[in-house]
Structure 1
Amino acid sequence: MSNNCPDLVSMLRQLIASPSVSCTQPDWDQSNLGVIELLEGWLADLGFQTEVVPVPGHPGKANLIATLGSGPGGLVLAGHTDTVPFNAELWQSDPFKLTERDNRFYGLGTCDMKGFFPIAIEAAKQFLDKTLQQPLIILATADEESSMSGARALAEAGRPKARYAVIGEPTGMKPIYMHKGMMMESVRVEGKAGHSSDPSLGANALEAMHSVLSELIAFRGEMQKQYHNSDFVIAEPTLNLGCIHGGDNPNRICGSCELEYDLRPLPGMDLDNLREEVSRRMAPLADRFAVDIQTKALFPGIPAFANQRDSNLVRTAEKLTGYTAQSVAFGTEAPFMQALGMDTIVMGPGFIDQAHQPDEYLAFDQIKPTVAVLEKLIEQYCL
């Protein structure tokens, strides 16, 4: 083993110190190449064949495919390199400086999910002098927290190819075999402004939006009657009315109004079909209020994910961790890995309630057990 690859804590420290925020707002959005270059250097030094793959249409963004061994099957250990935006003033320590206190590592991305990479590399180090019968692939992706452009590009390119995939999102090392999808959508109403003393002078977008809101709430109720999956804590699809903006003054007829909402579909609910249904329901409202109503996806959306409850990888993970496989409501890159033909689960150190908030941390006691489980998975699926 080369001495150029740092120890686990040093790797984590360097990854946290490399900013890689991804965001739909350009002022926040950053390149992830600093993180990719660190990982590529360490893994190449350990003997992995590495390939940095730019994400088409996204300058400064790239995925990393690092492969040890060869063969038609194998195991992918996957994670995303980006983090969410942050409020530095709410942190007790520098978000970009790994800080140790209370038997925890604090820093932006410690659990979601830069911390997974040093752990995966630490597990891989135990197999560098062994002949793998199937490849071990460490996969690092871009923009999971915003558009999932990295995972989408990989799925479209048909790579990497393997038989099994573990996505190391923070689940407390409980295997996740199913999660809801996620859609973020907007409805924009364009009316006609005018003096509020005479409603006939305009077409009030806010009044039309009142009916848009009612229609979406009715649609939510219909979905929740039609779709139900008791394997989820919240067994129905959800639709959250998130934010609304419209008008400019009390004495003006509102000329435009826009609503943004979040929809979390269950497995079996098609994203495009849901969008078409919303658009269909908006058309009569546009006619009724003499306005223009446009629906738009704020990002392409994440399909729901469902593996077989008794798949080989699910059963193996349950045996190794002692936890029964579960479902979650948040979205991951799992459907894109599954689209590549892999038996896929989500399972990693840390907990989702520590992510996306100030003083994000990874507890010390999560690290060694995760390394041990990953070593067992590599042994089973690659040796």
Structure 2
Amino acid sequence: MTETTRADDVDQLASDAVPGIGTVLSGVTMAAMAVAVRRGVDDPVVWAGTGFALVAVLAFLVRRHGPLERRIGGPIAAVSSVAVVLLAGYALNQGITVPAALPTGSASVSIPIVFVAFVTAGLTAGLGVADYFGISSGGLKRRSLQTATLSIVGVAGLLATPIVAAILAVPLLPLLEPLSEIENAVFGQVSMAIGTMLVAGGYIVSTDRDLSFIDFERPTLRDLGWIVGGLIVLFGALFAISALMQSTGVESADHSTTQRAQESPELMLVLVPLAILVIGPFEELLYRNVIQKSLYDTFSRFGAVAVASVIFASVHVLAYATAGIGAVIASLGTIFGLSIVLGTIYERTDNLLVPALVHGVYNALLFANLYFLYG
């Protein structure tokens, strides 16, 4: 039995629910990509995406109705679906969206069909992994429920900042106005710290845990090695991802901080210490120590790192919402890759201080670079 296949899954391993759901979702993916082809999109990326989606459909179908072992069918479906995610994401980045109108009465609403394929292929990839590990229908339900719950926690952490800022503004801003841009940035980061603590603390209390759940320990020499090595790997990953995107013509969206740096370079000097003291520690508290650690209850440790990274990347959508959907997806892909590194560091050390420092110093160096670039 693997760590992913929990003891409470064993009795239902023969269930065909996972390949059944996978068949439906991969069928939706294939249909969405096929619509793009029928609409006259003559692009090899879209054709290849359609082909990989068909492979995923067949893998799940044979798994459910034929002799194909889950140790073979699951990986085939997962790898094929990941290929569709990459191809659909690339197509979106190149402006191939294929909008389809929805029947909503008088209002004209459309959805990008290729984006539908991108999302469903991502879900199908997860089902392929679940099938490989023999996750039962009950196990799938528990993992889905926990993922949804912790996604809400992640979004709550994002929404808490403006809510706390609005509450603090009532008694404080009349005394402090007018705030300079730098003072406003400090006020926003303080609000973020308070909001994140409230969300993290509320989740810990609501799940009958206490402060011992927070993995904050004095760093050892091994931890210091992880901090230095983590920074090297993090910047190496950023360089590799950026080089790959540049070589393939993928365009990414700028973070909203880049625009702020262009308008007010001196603001970056304030964000440098705030990155180490606020941004790194509090984001890692919520997304690693609370969300990723909670996912250990139902996922393997590697699975928890991957799912927490998806949540972490997803909540950054608004920060990159300065460009089209394809560019935003490319930027979120970068965030996902960097989050995998941070999640692995936390998983290896079980010490919140380590990824917090890596994250904080990484952001601080990026802010310093923006200051020298635009200052």
TM-score for the superposition, normalised by structure 1: 0.25
Query: Which structure carries more relative contact order (alpha carbon 8 Å, separation 6+)?
Result: 1
Greater fraction helix: 2
Q: Which structure has the greater CA radius of gyration?
A: 1
